[in-house]
Amino acid sequence: MSSKPFTWDPDTELNTAKQIATSARTISSLKLSTTGAGPATVYLYDTSNGSTDAGSLKWVMDAPAGGPDFNNFCDSLLFYKGIYAVLVQGGGLKPILNYSITPAPANTNPNA
């Protein structure tokens, strides 16, 4: 199954958090960028209910001023419960998170 590209623009959407998925998904690539006026940081949590528990934190994107943070995963990053993104730094700097996701395989079991 091919991945679908999506974009989250927190400044345009006027939010600093987004529930990207509410069921198991894999991410094949991530890119975080800003206008260059300052850095941006986005935390990605493995949750379907907007929980930001430290135990749910799965990945951190950290774009420096003037450059993007880009991750292209050889083995897709698996989120068992869903994907919740939180902008923790960079609001007002036009941060943009581009991501490609697919549904996780049907036999995905977080307890295996």
The percentage of residues in the chain with a pLDDT greater than 90, rounded to a whole number, is: 73
Q: What pLDDT score does 1 carry?
A: 57
Q: Answer yes or no: are the C-beta atoms of 80 and 26 closer than 8 Å.
A: no
Average pLDDT, the chain: 90
Q: Answer yes or no: are the C-beta atoms of 5 and 34 closer than 8 Å.
A: no
What domains are defined for the chain? 4-103 (2.60.120.340)
DSSP single-letter state for residue 55: G
Order of strands across the sheet with 25-33?
Answer: 4-8, 96-103, 25-33, 69-79
How many CB atoms sit inside 10 A of residue 33's CB? 20
